[in-house]
Amino acid sequence: MPSPDLPLLAWALWYAAIGIPIFPCFGLHLDRTCSCPKGGACGRDAGKHPLTEHGFKDATTNAVIIAAWWDRWPRANIGAATGHVSDVLDIDGMDLETWQQTTGFWPPSTWRARTGSGGEHLHLQPAPGLGNGVKRLPFADTRAAGGYVLLPPSGHRTGRRYEWIIPPGAVPLASWPADLLAALLPPARPAPSLAPRPAGIVTTVPASLTRWAERGAALGQQTHAAFWLACRLRQHGADEHEGWAILERFAAACVPPADLTKLARIWRDSSKYQGYEPGRELAQSLTLVHRGATLPSAAYRVGRPI
């Protein structure tokens, strides 16, 4: 682990070297105001805004990109995209021991950082379906896939810096305790119920389309991929039963698993857009889509409702 007095670039490169995808956030001026255009108007969010266009979606472990970022913004705070290497339990305004006594939950020993506000970040192995939530438990938020946190030694508007209590490598990254995870997970939402499928109905969905669905999609690509899949299924005559069965396979293959309620809405909406066609760039990439691939959202164009 780098020395606390080394430049932020050294820390950023160390995180990348141990596999944590990072990106730059606005730093703080000497008067502790945010270096973003809002300056002192940022309030509690000072020093936490992404500097790159796509924020946590730009997070990387590429040392060349990271060096270029911090060469351009040497005082940038270090943001880490959560849900890749770790989820984070964000304990607000108190230390872990106080929070344990307050809530009765006792997380295992794992990577721990003290935040600038006096709270703590507990890093734990990613849990499917956890998501990002505010105050699901007293004085605690969650940061998972689709979220981010600041890493030490990023600065804070209080004048303190984030610092490691138990840094990566000192202990193994722990899993979420079952009782804590159960309290944090949102209630399960049932899949749409369908009437029994009438006898004698035969559809002609190509096997290649089913195989494509079973590859799933990564976070940030799921909505576009699911809508394209739903429209293709309708084009090939899939009824409610077969279409939904294939979408369920798609959901299970996604990383993290796709939300079934959201997929049900996409399946319903696709009935209005059977003429939906991807742009040329997307069409060329579809045969290469797999977990971790990039679906260029700018390439999509939605057909007219029928």
Q: What is the mean pLDDT of the chain?
A: 81
What's residue 277's pLDDT? 47
> What is the DSSP code string of 20-35?
--EEEE--B-TTS-BS
Identify whether residues 159 and 222 lie together within a single domain. Answer: no
Residue 45 sits in the same domain as residue 146: yes
Residue 44 lies in a domain: yes
Same domain, 233 and 116: no
Domain co-membership, 252 together with 296:
yes
Q: Is residue 150 located within the same domain as residue 65?
A: yes
Q: Would you say residue 189 lies in a domain? A: no
Segment 257-261 mean pLDDT: 84
Q: Does 163 have pLDDT greater than 60?
A: yes
Q: How far apart are CA 238 and CA 258, in angstroms?
A: 20
Q: In this predicted structure, which of 40-54, 91-105, 256-270, 289-303 has the lowest mean pLDDT?
A: 289-303
Provide mean pLDDT across the span 86-105.
89
Share of the chain above pLDDT 90, in %: 32
Residues 286 and 156 in one domain: no
Count of domains for the chain: 2
The reply to whether 115 and 29 lie within a common domain is: yes
Q: Report d(CA 230, CA 271) in Å as an integer.
A: 8
What phi and psi values does residue 296 have, to the nearest 5 degrees?
Answer: -70, 100
Specify the pLDDT at position 219.
77
Return the structure tokens found at 22: 């990072």
The whole-angstrom separation of Cα 135 and Cα 141 is 5
The pLDDT assigned to 304 comes to 30
Residue pair 151/11 in contact (Cβ under 8 Å)? The answer is yes
**102 contacts 138 by C-beta, under 8 angstroms:** yes
Taking alpha carbons only, the member of 155, 130, 158 closest to residue 144 is: 130
Cα pseudo-dihedral 11, 16, 22, 26, rounded to 10 = 30
Residue 293 has pLDDT above 50, yes or no: no
The parent domain of residue 219 ranges over 207-301
